[in-house]
Amino acid sequence: MIELLGFSKKYQTPVVDIPAWTFQRGIYLLKGANGSGKSTLLQSMAGRLSFKGNIMVNGHSLKKTPRICRQLVSYAAGEPMFPGFLTGGELVQFFQKTKGISPWPMGHLLEGFEAPSFLESPIQTYSSGMLKKLALLLAFTGNPDWILLDEPFNGLDNTSVAALEGFVTQLYLQYKVSFIIASHQEHPQLMGSGNELLVLENKQLRSYDPK
């Protein structure tokens, strides 16, 4: 469970202001116009940005125990950046060494992403789609309870999108991993029972029923 308590974030002007919100186990699709604060919200929940108020992850305060919260929450950035001189494979190995081996098999996702073809090349030679795939692979390492994906489908080809949707559903159903996914697209495959569509507008978060 992730709780937002008096959460607010402002740059020059306030961007997000959520008095209270609770994310129970599930898959959440987060929608909102450009600049509505989706990435800011996800980055704050991942402990990458400072903010006012507090965020509790499974009862642990993100501000007081950021290390424990980072173990519970994985994050894939919308526009990922990595040191260009490393290869993707080295980075995946580094993440597996530090975060631990995942209980779920990654083979299908690796195949769906056609990752073996590019993982051994230096990251500086990657296209934006490859970078996105690498960021997603890294977010799936370890054994987190929550995975936050910022615009994960942008720049992916259709095969990869299908592989990612299938993998997210599998992790949710078999391994009880919850997701918050910021995306502009519709994803009917992800919108099964217990999943929720959220909209971030006017600095506030609210549930959205497309019907």
Catalog residues that contact another protein under the rule CB under 8 A: 46-50, 62-63, 66-67, 70-71, 74-75, 77, 81-86, 90-91, 94-95, 98-99, 138-139, 142
List helix spans (H) across the chain. 38-45, 66-72, 88-99, 107-112, 128-139, 158-175
Cα–Cα distance for residue pair 166/151, rounded to 1 Å: 16
Minimum distance from residue 66 beta carbon to another protein (Å): 5
The edge-to-edge listing of strands for the beta sheet with 52-57 is: 14-23, 2-10, 52-57, 60-61
Q: Which is nearer to another protein, 124 or 185 (CB)?
A: 124
Minimum distance from residue 49 beta carbon to another protein (Å): 6
Q: Which is nearer to another protein, 64 or 206 (CB)?
A: 64
Q: Which is nearer to another protein, 77 or 164 (CB)?
A: 77
Residue 138 dihedral angles phi and psi, to the nearest 5°:
-65, -35
- Which among 173, 204, 210, 172 is positioned nearest to 188, based on CA atoms? 210
Minimum distance from residue 188 beta carbon to another protein (Å): 30
Contacts 24+ apart (CB under 8 A), 155-158: 155/128, 155/129, 156/129, 156/132, 157/129
Q: Which is nearer to another protein, 84 or 103 (CB)?
A: 84
Q: Which is nearer to another protein, 17 or 90 (CB)?
A: 90
